[in-house]
Amino acid sequence: MKFSLSWLKDHLDTSASVEEIAAKLNAVGLEVEGIEDPAAKLAGFKVAKVLTAERHPNADKLQVLTVDTGHGTPLQVVCGAPNARAGLVGVLGLPGAVVPAGGFELKKSAIRGVESNGMMCSTRELELGDDHDGIIELPADAPVGTDFADYHGTDPVFDVAITPNRPDCMGVYGIARDLAAAGLGTLKPIAVQAVPGSFPCPLPIRTDDPEGCPAFFGRAIRGVKNGASPQWMQDRLLSAGQRPISALVDITNYVMLAYGRPAHAYDLSKLTGAIFARRAQDGEQVLALNGKEYTLTAAMTVIADDIGVHDIAGIMGGEHSGCSDETTDVLLEVAYFDPVRIGETGRALNLTSDARARFERGLDPAFLDAGLAILTELIVEICGGEPSEVIQAGNPPAGTKVVAYDPAMSEGLGGVAIPGERQREILAALGFHADAQWNVTVPSWRPDVDGAADLVEEVVRIHGLDNVASVALPRVDGVARPTATLAQKLERKLRRAAAARGLNEAVTWSFLPEDQAEAFADGNGGLWTLANPISEDLKVMRPSLLPGLLSAAKRNGDRGAAGLRLFELGRRYLRGEGGHSDERLTLGVVLAGEKAARGWATGKAVPFDAFDAKAEALALLAEAGAPVDNLQVMGEAGAQFHPGQSATLRLGPKTVLARFGMLHPALLKQFDVDGPVAAVELFLDAIPAKRGAAGFARAAYAPPALQAVTRDFAFLVDAKLAAGDLVRTVKGADKANIVAVRLFDDFRGQGVPEGQKSLAVEVTLQPAEKSYTEAELKAIAEAITTAAAKLGAVLRG
């Protein structure tokens, strides 16, 4: 939230400097995100007087001005403003000044052949308003040569982050209250002067939705004259980042920003019959003030008349009944809306506004009368008119509660001892009232305070968080015991292993758009859809890590990344038995683009393929402690993968440890990814725990005393036989001596019968206590050929 120093001083009597105010705001928990200095933006702009104005010799719509800057020789400036004339006092931007609206630096230049030494500026160019039809016209007695920043006034602007639990600080008055309680000045009381009505309200007002809109207060004002709001009000709104529109609209925005009380003004001539709050009808539509049309549901509250909807209650008014320059009669609406209903409606419509930000946090239900009175007084003062009597439909909630409090809690819970009387003073300054027994009445503008712990927070933050002593946690003597769990150790190990293999870690959302989640659902009991998502595009919990990695790959590819090796370690979310959440630790890998760039040795760029994905899967499973030597390669990787270019790694037919391969072209098209893309998904929860193992520690490595022996075998096998099956069978032929088996050749051609292939493997034998004899080597070879024969393999001659 933004506000200027002068606006703050409207409500806080203080002589504190900008730096002191910023420090105190941070101290009481209202974080200052920035302080804008208008003088810095207006550096290089001077109050200047036009001495002469002559037609440009080469352009009909331009003039050549002679401008007095108050210092030395007048400057020549080319200007296209229609109001530029001799005698006008305006604002001149000198060479070197940066125009706030465009961010460009002014330079001495030639315009249509005539030298120009700067620019006469409009209010829009200096971000002081929207007028750009002509240059700024200052009073004739404005001091020529003065820095425009000094003439206009330098009013610093604070930008404060308001946490969701502090709706009372969504107005400048609430921030002033906190500062006054912290001893930085005196809070000025709100000057509320009731304006009596002189005639009955011409429209009935009621609420037909007491749950969504418990209270609806309103009154009419006839004979108003809408136009520009006063300069002081425009300055306040501009400091808050609001664009002045018209007096009636600006007044409602001003009251919202000053007191945190949203309101709405309708053009009375555009309303028919009664005005009332009701539930919308399914499919009902409304054209909002932002120019967009919204389709409503019966779960939403609206403000309507006898003809139709005029307002999405508490969020945004409708364009049809908005005030214009021709408006002469208005109807004011000050209502209380259910915060939950407002939040649900805003999320469903994906519609945000300043009013919604305040209503969904919870407003002061006791401020309806005062808010309506302030609005009425300002409108009558600025726009004239005659107000009607007030109509009050419904009743707002009480808003106050009583909390039992013990002042000793400030030390026990807050860590700082504060005298009871001082605590009572702090609470009173914030609007709380504590009786003799410390039963504390919570003010209506503090819906966030529910219990005694909240009161401790209020007392301690105003007393000063810097007064809370830093106390180290107790620590036992000696070396600290390890606290990481086996799962945490596994995650750390896999992250390091993946990074060591050249993969880059990605961290993506645990939420997905519904269509992306559906593409990876795989019938796992249905998707988890959030009841309160942060946006409509992030409302389903991910059933797989691959959608997020694919989206990350697309974003990087769109920005010119040629080759992508991404991995993510996280959880996927499935529906377990009884509808409970089933979170499973998973590692996902996506390989996209070029594996090797084009070059003189490789020719064209080399893309990733299914074997690259398999290599990553096996390497990372080995790091996770899976028995990779016992894994079987089987199909059915899933509909997301390309058939024939994907598979699963399993321990037996049912336990799937990983799936890998090329993703299906249809899936890549859905994600708008230019393929091909290889992917891996490791299901770490499926890896069986080692028997009797308390962790992942290994015995110290002891190299064998004798040199290993290698033997090569070439087998003729059926062309459909997986090479991995042969490798696994050969390795199991003699587990005592065979320590490794590696496939080094796959040949199909001359000398190999049709329908067969030749697979050659290198077998590594490791003697233990003595070298092998010829008889022992022969026995091992016979065991290998016998085992291979069970697969139909025949040793080649």
The whole-number pLDDT of residue 486 equals: 87
Entry pTM? 0.63
DSSP string, 29-90: T-EEEEEE-HHHHTTTEEEEEEEEEEE-TT-TT-EEEEEE-SSSSPEEEEE--TT--TT-EE
C-alpha to C-alpha distances, 539 to 135, 164, 299, 341, 536, nearest whole angstrom: 50, 21, 19, 18, 6
Element at 668 (helix H, strand E): helix 665-670
User: What's the rounded Cα separation, in Å, for the pair 677 and 637?
Assistant: 15
- DSSP for residue 138: B
Give the per-residue pLDDT at 691.
62
User: For residue 578, what pLDDT band results from cuts at 50, 70 and 90?
Assistant: low
Position 524 scores a pLDDT of 64
Q: State the pLDDT at residue 692.
A: 53
Q: Tokens representing 253?
A: 């925005």
Please report the pLDDT score of residue 695 as a whole number. Answer: 46
Residue 166 has pLDDT above 50, yes or no: yes
What percentage of the chain exceeds 70 in pLDDT? 98
421 is in an annotated binding site: no
Mean pLDDT of all residues in the chain? Answer: 91
In order of their start, the domains of the chain are 2-37+156-187 (3.30.56.10), 40-152 (2.40.50.140), 205-394 (3.50.40.10), 401-466 (3.30.56.10), 486-686 (3.30.930.10), 709-795 (3.30.70.380)
**How does residue 579 score in pLDDT terms, banded at 50, 70 and 90?**
low
CB 737 within 8 A of CB 780: yes
E strands present in 576-663: 581-596, 606-607, 632-634, 641-651, 655-663
115 is in an annotated binding site: no
Within 8 A by CB and 6+ apart from 115, the residues are 76, 108, 109
Closest CA to 244 of 229, 258, 259, 224: 229
Query: Exposure of 43 by Cβ count < 10 A (0-12 exposed, 13-18 middle, 19+ buried)?
Result: middle
pLDDT tens sequence across 595-645:
888 888 778 888 999 999 999 999 999 999 998 888 888 888 999 999 989
What six digits make up the tokens of 234? 């425009």
Q: Cis peptide leading into 753, omega within 30 of 0?
A: no
558 is in an annotated binding site: no
Known binder of ligand: residue 725?
no
Least-confidence region, from 81-95, 142-156, 703-717? 142-156
Q: Exposure string (b/e) for 747-776, b if CB count within 10 Å is 16 or more?
A: eeeeeeeeebbbbebebebeeeeeebeeee
CB contact set of 707 (below 8 Å; sequence gap of 6+) = none
d(CA 665, CA 674): 9
Contact criterion met (CB below 8 Å) for 559 and 677: no
CB atoms under 10 Å from CB of 703, counted, come to 4
